[in-house]
Structure 1
């Protein structure tokens, strides 16, 4: 099945529901999904997706309606994602690390008919988060109404099903009692066009509040196809997912394994290094997608040498150092490590390495070749002129798989695409003999643990949150083996004798700022900021001072 689909470019000719139904019929009794020791066959998965779709129809969800979810990586959210696609709804996934301000702004902009959230995760109460973000809703029976979010009709929770929350429906209760709307589901599936927008994912918010990327079905299916093709995936491979569902890596894991390849997908509620290692060892799992932080988390386990790390095929978003770590961990001559270059605007995949490439230098030092039909160029940061190979500038690309724009932000969409039709990625890099080489984000943006973090936005939020105590902030990135780049903030206090400690500052940030925007270390700066020869704050000196202080801190 998989070989035929790759050979026939099935991804470009069929929809997600069509391919999913074929996969479930052909695989049938094979294990599709494994979660916390429980196995779900493709036959069972098919039934659960249709129950989820029927549940949505019973709630009055129509094609084009938006369903916003705050998910952990649980089967219920996979059923919901595929069920929403089947009924023609638009699934919009939000980042569970966000605080109230970000959730509020995005929910008000994205017009959801239904909001579905995990009820509690890692001590964070998401019922409270929604209540503090959509503050004006009223409850009338099963329905809710809000002036600020006029489209909203239902709130739903996944998780503690024995608990009741005012205004929130229980997913499991509705799911279990869902009537049979299979004929209506099939009718909607048959009327779908793959180029209709049905997926909305959020950008990492690298330049402020997250933008909402609109995708049709072809883009994630293209990602699934080339991930399978370029890694040499076979039907007996087993895939473990490290990525949260709010990241396109999680979306791609669903489409790759459950929709396109028919391979077994192992999921965890959230990434846990020891659990991941144990699953890989116990089930002889062979393939995954990883960031450097995932690999570091597993490799640094004291128990690492007690288990077999059986990964033979890996999609890697990282740098040469992460590549070397992956090779060391896999410890096999047969291992295939495919470096990639991706963005949410193209469902996480623009360029990808190939399992047939035996040039280790290319595999290690580049991020692969652009996908077929994708044109990548490098443009001068100041003139916008195309640059020759090996000369660094902004990576820009034209693609038939590019997103359909930012939802309700036409100005930002227009600004991101130039007169030649190239999308400006905001990433710095080069083209080398047809291969992409990613060199980092432009401007004051760092990538920490797989998340793009705007240091400018962090500065503004810290000063706003602590306006009585903090005079000024300069955030920056420091190289770190675990995070890739660690977010560190230098702060100047209004009063030098302030009793407010860095740890207290960090604790008070939690829940107000996104988790990844809370600095991993806060350092106190006294006096004026150092100034460079150009008259700007000397970021290089601040970074060097931060490295020295953190090094001394770790020594003592």
Structure 2
């Protein structure tokens, strides 16, 4: 199965960039005074952005960074983060953005694994970054356009990786991911990977230089890096960066700052709508033309609420870090009422296969999703064995996700194959139970996991209530009984003030599984 959508050409379509910074060079020459980036401290035009990138390049060279080196950047969304992405591109160094809210152990693990030449803390954007770099004996630097940063020596055995002129070979970014469920992995994404997805995102959302995009998804996550930052720059549009998600800040930007394109994970949209429901709060988005959800499953109740409030389709998509990240995307000209993730993006192939035999399954049946295309990663850094397990000799990437192809060629994501719960011989897909939980008026978020019991597996549900409301678990169980088969019902419902989540809003299900194991089922108590 492949996708061959075509779109009309615009100015950006005439470019054939080989490096991430080539789009910046184009727009800096074509529209130097047009707005490019804005954070809480400063705004940069395309001309000023290009000049600032040159300054950061000089600073990195003075720090000993050369082509093939890894540069670990600790911080949160700000102009300086974008500058370092583009500066590393100019140097053919690998940028590795990591969120400053990570623990010391995690940061140290990334430094050790990446063998980074230098570690840079974005001091003006994050007090956590300052603490990390002070611990690493970081020294203050001030780079025009980037502001105050802290610079520390990286790994003592740092050495450059081979450099290639070919965009499909030269690594642009090293993205660390644990998939919220396991040990961190360093995903090598090439310039060609990122350029392909950024261009796709620009076309799918029909971005132009008049657009104003809200950037609260972390640039340390591949969704924020490619579909938000790089796609915006490829169109010559303007990006408003927010360091952290706050519903009131997003509401203010939508109402007053002319935001035309909004990206978010479902948890962000749920909390934005919950904020709007509070007395005295109002949600308006007079300029908004595209609202995009991704990064986690979108449930029907949330989609319906958003569309009813804003009068705008909440688009859905699906991807993973190893695919740079986009795999499927709903289309602006074909709005959907359901939560399908749409057809595959143009230029890639997908197939849905039987878990055991890997034979293609019929349309409408659930199987494991595989894909092939220019978005597939180069591999896991310093882990060829895991790379070979994930991408086969023909270039097919195993997503590990369960999906089905519908009769219209779109895909529905059923869940992670590793998250499938087998209860008394029946398959329970967590997303199905979560959809019903999230439709309850007192629930803002939920997460469903499996818990092994002797000879079986049971369902455990974690729920986060709407702020200011109490949640009666007996009433919630009655709600579920009316809407789910008995074997899908949770053995236990656990209410938490806030579910554990990454900076992108993706829930940490592995932590919840561990917590579920520590709690005995009420049936066993």
What range is the shorter-chain TM-score in?
Answer: 0.7 to 0.9
Q: Distance in 2 between matches of 1:381 and 1:231?
A: 34
Aligned to 1:194: 167
Aligned to 1:330: 310
- The answer on whether the counterparts of 2:77 and 2:216 sit within 8 Å (CA) in structure 1 is no
* Residues 219-238 of structure 1 mapped to structure 2, 5 A cutoff: 219-238=193-212
- The answer on whether the counterparts of 1:426 and 1:442 sit within 8 Å (CA) in structure 2 is yes
- The answer on whether the counterparts of 2:18 and 2:191 sit within 8 Å (CA) in structure 1 is no
Q: 1:479 to 1:125 in 2, by over 3 A?
A: closer
The one of 478, 494, 508 equivalent to 2:462 is 478
Partner SS state of residue 370, structure 1: coil
Aligned to 1:343: 320
Q: Does 1:441 align with 2:447?
A: no
TM-score (norm 2): 0.73
CA apart distance, 1:17: 1.8
Q: Distance in 1 between matches of 2:196 and 2:279?
A: 38
The one of 60, 67, 71 equivalent to 2:64 is 60
- The answer on whether the counterparts of 1:208 and 1:454 sit within 8 Å (CA) in structure 2 is no
Aligned to 2:10: 4
Q: Distance in 2 between matches of 1:242 and 1:194?
A: 28
Q: 1:482 to 1:414 in 2, by over 3 A?
A: farther
* Residues 312-323 of structure 1 mapped to structure 2, 5 A cutoff: 312-317=289-294, 318-323=298-303
Please report the RMSD computed on the Cα atoms of aligned residues, expressed in angstroms.
4.2
Q: Distance in 1 between matches of 2:448 and 2:107?
A: 17
Q: 1:30 to 1:106 in 2, by over 3 A?
A: same
The one of 356, 368, 372 equivalent to 2:333 is 356
Partner SS state of residue 325, structure 1: helix
* Residues 146-165 of structure 1 mapped to structure 2, 5 A cutoff: 157=133
CA apart distance, 1:427: 1.0
Aligned to 2:24: 20
Q: Does 1:404 align with 2:378?
A: yes
Q: Distance in 2 between matches of 1:523 and 1:365?
A: 28
CA apart distance, 1:482: 7.3
Partner SS state of residue 142, structure 2: helix
Structure 2 residue ranges without an equivalent (≥5) = 1-7, 150-162, 421-429, 439-444, 453-457, 468-493
Structure 1 residue ranges without an equivalent (≥5) = 131-156, 158-163, 179-189, 460-473, 484-501, 531-540, 546-556
Partner SS state of residue 77, structure 2: coil
Aligned to 1:306: 282
- Count of residues in correspondence between the two structures: 442
Q: 1:290 to 1:47 in 2, by over 3 A?
A: same
TM-score (norm 1): 0.69
Q: Distance in 2 between matches of 1:336 and 1:217?
A: 32
Q: 1:303 to 1:441 in 2, by over 3 A?
A: farther
Q: 1:94 to 1:35 in 2, by over 3 A?
A: closer
Per-residue CA deviations over 1:486-529 (Å, capped at 9, x if unaligned) read: xxxxxxxxxxxxxxxx99xx9xxx9xxx99566599689776x6
* Residues 47-86 of structure 1 mapped to structure 2, 5 A cutoff: 47-86=51-90
- The answer on whether the counterparts of 2:141 and 2:148 sit within 8 Å (CA) in structure 1 is no
CA apart distance, 1:365: 3.1
